[in-house]
Amino acid sequence: MAALRAAKQALRKEIKRRVAALSDEEKLRQSSVLSKLLFRHPKYVSCKRIAVFLSMHDEVRTEEIIRDVFKCGKSCFIPRYESSSNHMDMLQLRSLQDMETLPLTAWNIQQPAAEDSSREEALSAGGLDLILMPGLGFDSLGKRLGRGKGFYDTYLERCMKHPKGKPYTIALAFKEQLLPEIPVDDNDVLIDEVLYEKDL
């Protein structure tokens, strides 16, 4: 286990270094390419209930995707992380205006406030059809290197217990986040598909 942890830590450093070297223009360009790929994806087209992460500076931008989700009349859910544990809920985002008023966490991520209990949690009702996954690194087999807290792995386990079952998972990645192989253990849930700009 210690060797696996050390290997993951080394990879996290390496990927952070790679992504930090990208210009903002390049991040936006790749994000736009991925958004357009996603909008044509059959799983996106057919989904009714989708969970989308609100992007941090070193992640694929999701604003364009969230705008499209509302334009298409889909239900949009966003993560609320509990910093004291690895618990995360996916809470309904009501509109683009709603997103603008969300408070910022210590991690500089916007999310619904802890005392905001008026929002529907995805699994308390109809479950989810699709989850867009963040992460630091990915390989072509769907292995994912997260930030080490286990929020998404734990949430996907909860999804598997929902009557609807596990939603389809698509990771959004800069091509600099792709690795030949990522070391994983039994708690790491594989992703169905990694979307990145392939060299055409």
Annotated binding site for ATP, which residues? 8-12, 144-152
**Binding-site residues from annotation for substrate:** 54, 59
**Do the Cβ atoms of 184 and 148 come closer than 8 Å?**
no
- How big is the chain by its Cα radius of gyration, in Å? 16
Q: How many CB atoms lie within 10 A of CB 175?
A: 14
**Binding-site residues from annotation:** 8-12, 54, 59, 144-152
CA atoms within 13 A on the CB side of 148: 10
The amino acid at residue 144 is R
**Do the Cβ atoms of 161 and 127 come closer than 8 Å?**
no
Task: Give the pair of three-digit tokens for residue 162.
Answer: 């929902």
